[in-house]
Amino acid sequence: MGDVLTAVGVLVGLGAILALILVMAERKLVHSGPVRLTINDADPVEVPGGEPLLSVLRERKIFVPSACGGRGSCGLCKVTVRSGGGPVLPTEIPHLSPEEIEERVRLACQVKVRGDTAIEIPAHLLEVEEYEVRVEAIEELTYDIRRLRLAFGPGVAFRFRAGQYVQIETPIYDGLGEPVYRAYSISSPPQGTGAIELIIRKVPRGICTTYVHELLLVGDRLTLNGPYGEFYLRDTPAEAVFIGGGSGLAPFESMLADMAERGIRKKVTLFFGAVARRDLYDLERFAAHEKAVPGFRFVPALSDPAPDDGWDGETGLITEVVGRSYGDMAGMEAYLCGSPGMIDACVRVLTAKGVAEDSIFYDKF
Amino acid sequence: MKQPPLLARAQARMAPGALTRDGFLGADPRDLVEILQADDGAVRRLGLTHEAIGGAMARLTDAALERLGATARVGGFAVSAVEAMGQLPCPFGHAGLYPKAEVRARRTRDGAERAWTALHVHLVRDHGFYQGRGSPYRIEPADLAGFLGLGPAAD
């Protein structure tokens, strides 16, 4: 009996010693105290250790775009980690090209700041801020597309370039565990700094769009951050094609209104791809832009018009319509906004027609 | 069977709000490993494989995605896809990203309809996962095989 008790005692003691070693090793190896974070070669700042880099940056009011709330699913929150950050995780691999891995690009949501870390982020992200806005108006554009008008607080001037986007925070609803962020292009021109408009299509079972379409009311308050993106009209004399589908007309509405306001002269044709007439919207706005913007032409096209649509305009997939509208497109620019599938299909057609890859612009979020 | 840690992590990513609003498990109280085993048995009893079922789904899905929202007609089916911006990762941690697209398929001879997602095709073909009971996109393997006209279950 005594031997058994001794053996149990020894085992318990060994277990306690092992646990102690593990705790000490964790404290030594997994830094959870303050660490130093260097951003773009500025002076290091002290931040709490052990937190995801995306959260650390957000706490410092530096908003790196992230459309999935840090779940590693959207791949938007890419930053360059010059030192620290540990090895690339399996959850990051699907989002990173071999070149990006070579250049130490990481997903900020997956990198834990466990020790002194140095990162680089695009300078314009340092200008991104968080705002509280009030829903001023909701307009039904089609059966599944809404326009929101969001007003900033008194004295707040939100400045952006036509074509950029913001991220809306969807509050917790229906028992979902935490807020999520989704990116939406601004459809209003940058000259109106007190409010912005967004065009949002309902995604089947989407987290944010279900909230916007089924729960959001005029007068509600939302949190957003922005502006983001490099999708803006280049200041060149090149002829341009804009191609959008669904809610993808939003940035083009902003660009065209901006062109009208600033008297920008550029030959532009906007191709609006939709399935049937019920998917078209804002036709009167684009007709007005055709009068206000010299050199602008609007081409809506239906891929599958309903028998009673009475449609006598362009028909076919938007890629087919663009393809037959031009011969050689060398020297032209293209601006795309839509689903990844639409963008990929358009890039294939445009490059085959001679548009240089670095003259094709899109935000593939 | 005890659930391995890899599947436990995948199950966590299948919860509502983790990757998608509704998640992948519905109200199914079973562990992921039990769901996989049960559906694997059902597919074996049909004399089919997950690859065959997923492959048939993929053919319809690819045709629908190519049409950018318009209807494609493929081998007795009319299919269309609603594709949104963004992409989704596999909850099993498999490499790659998948379109955020809902595919709607209608069998032209009798009007029967089913809906699935682009990610669902990968889940069926590569993981033998047909989602949990009560999940919005759950389709029983026998029903799916029958709808697609595969094997002895074809009706």
CATH number at A327 reads 3.40.50.80
CB contact under 8 A, A94 and B96: yes
CB contact under 8 A, B20 and A304: no
Q: A169 and A57 in one domain?
A: no
- Of A125, A147, A170, at which residue does a domain stop? A125
Per-residue tokens: B52: 């065959």
Stretches where chain B sits below pLDDT 70 are 152-155
Model pTM score: 0.85
Residues of A in contact with B63 (CB under 8 A): none
Predicted local confidence at residue B153, as pLDDT: 45
Predicted local confidence at residue A215, as pLDDT: 95
Average pLDDT over residues A3-32: 56
Q: Is residue A273 situated within a structural domain?
A: yes
Average pLDDT over residues A338-357: 96
CB contact under 8 A, A207 and B67: no
Q: What is the CATH number of the domain that holds A86?
A: 3.10.20.30
Q: A221 and A140 in one domain?
A: yes
- Of A90, A125, A160, at which residue does a domain stop? A125
Number of A/B CB contacts below 8 angstroms equals 100
Which chain A residue's Cα is nearest to B118? Answer: A341
> What mean pLDDT is reported for chain A?
89
CB contact under 8 A, B84 and A339: yes
Q: Indicate if the pLDDT at residue A79 is higher than 60.
A: yes
Predicted local confidence at residue B155, as pLDDT: 47
Q: A355 and A246 in one domain?
A: yes
Q: A154 and A75 in one domain?
A: no
Predicted local confidence at residue A5, as pLDDT: 56
Report the side by side order of strands in the sheet with A165-170.
Answer: A180-185, A165-170, A221-228, A129-140, A145-152, A195-201
Place A25 in a pLDDT band, splitting at 50, 70 and 90: low
Q: A356 and A249 in one domain?
A: yes
Q: Indicate if the pLDDT at residue A19 is higher than 60.
A: no
CB contact under 8 A, A339 and B97: no
Residue that wins the pLDDT comparison between B24 and A16: B24
CB contact under 8 A, B82 and A203: yes
**Residue B108 touches partner A, C-beta closer than 8 Å:** no
**Residue B100 touches partner A, C-beta closer than 8 Å:** yes
Q: What is the largest CA-CA distance in chain A?
A: 100
Q: Is residue A195 situated within a structural domain?
A: yes
Residue that wins the pLDDT comparison between A3 and A134: A134
- Of A197, A228, A259, at which residue does a domain stop? A228
**Residue B134 touches partner A, C-beta closer than 8 Å:** no
Which chain B residue's Cα is nearest to A204? Answer: B102
Residues of B in contact with A70 (CB under 8 A): none
Q: A297 and A196 in one domain?
A: no
Q: Is residue A200 situated within a structural domain?
A: yes
**Residue B154 touches partner A, C-beta closer than 8 Å:** no
Q: A252 and A221 in one domain?
A: no
Q: A250 and A222 in one domain?
A: no
Q: A206 and A139 in one domain?
A: yes
B49–chain A nearest CA distance, Å: 27
Average pLDDT over residues A26-34: 61
Place A15 in a pLDDT band, splitting at 50, 70 and 90: low
Residue that wins the pLDDT comparison between A127 and B1: A127
Domain count, chain A: 3
Q: Indicate if the pLDDT at residue A182 is higher than 90.
A: no
**Residue B78 touches partner A, C-beta closer than 8 Å:** no
Q: A68 and A110 in one domain?
A: yes
CB contact under 8 A, B97 and A95: yes
CB contact under 8 A, A342 and B93: no
Q: Mind spelling out the 3-state secondary structure of chain A?
A: CHHHHHHHHHHHHHHHHHHHHHHHHHHHHCCCCEEEEEECCCCCEEEECCEEHHHHHHHCCCCCCCCCCCCCCCCCCEEEEEECCCCCCCCCHHHCCHHHHHCCEEECCCCEECCCEEEECCHHHHHCEEEEEEEEEEEECCCCEEEEEEEECCCCCCCCCCCCEEEEEECCCCCCCCCEEEEEEECCCCCCCCEEEEEEECCCCCHHHHHHHHCCCCCCEEEEEEEECCCCCCCCCCCEEEEEEHHHHHHHHHHHHHHHHHCCCCCEEEEEEECCHHHCCCHHHHHHHHHHCCCEEEEEEECCCCHHHCCCCEECCHHHHHHHHCCCCCCCEEEEECCHHHHHHHHHHHHHCCCCHHHEEECCC
Q: Indicate if the pLDDT at residue A73 is higher than 90.
A: no
Residues of B in contact with A279 (CB under 8 A): 69
Distance CA A280, CA A303 (A): 12
Q: A205 and A255 in one domain?
A: no
Predicted local confidence at residue B17, as pLDDT: 81
Per the structure, the complete domain to which residue A53 belongs is given by 34-125
The answer to which of A67-81, A95-109, A218-232 has the lowest mean pLDDT is A67-81
Residues of A in contact with B69 (CB under 8 A): 245-246, 274-275, 279, 303-304
The answer to which of A311-315, A354-358, B9-13, B48-52 has the lowest mean pLDDT is B9-13
Residues of B in contact with A318 (CB under 8 A): 68
Name which of A68, A71, A73 to mutate to probe chain B: the one with the most chain B Cβ atoms within 10 A of its Cβ.
A73
Residues of B in contact with A73 (CB under 8 A): 19, 87-89
Q: Indicate if the pLDDT at residue A22 is higher than 60.
A: no
Predicted local confidence at residue A11, as pLDDT: 56
Q: A137 and A221 in one domain?
A: yes
CB contact under 8 A, A176 and B82: no
**Residue B20 touches partner A, C-beta closer than 8 Å:** yes
Angle B77-B80-B86 from CA coordinates, rounded to 5°: 145
- pLDDT tens digits, A128-175: 999 999 999 999 999 999 999 999 999 999 999 999 999 999 888 877
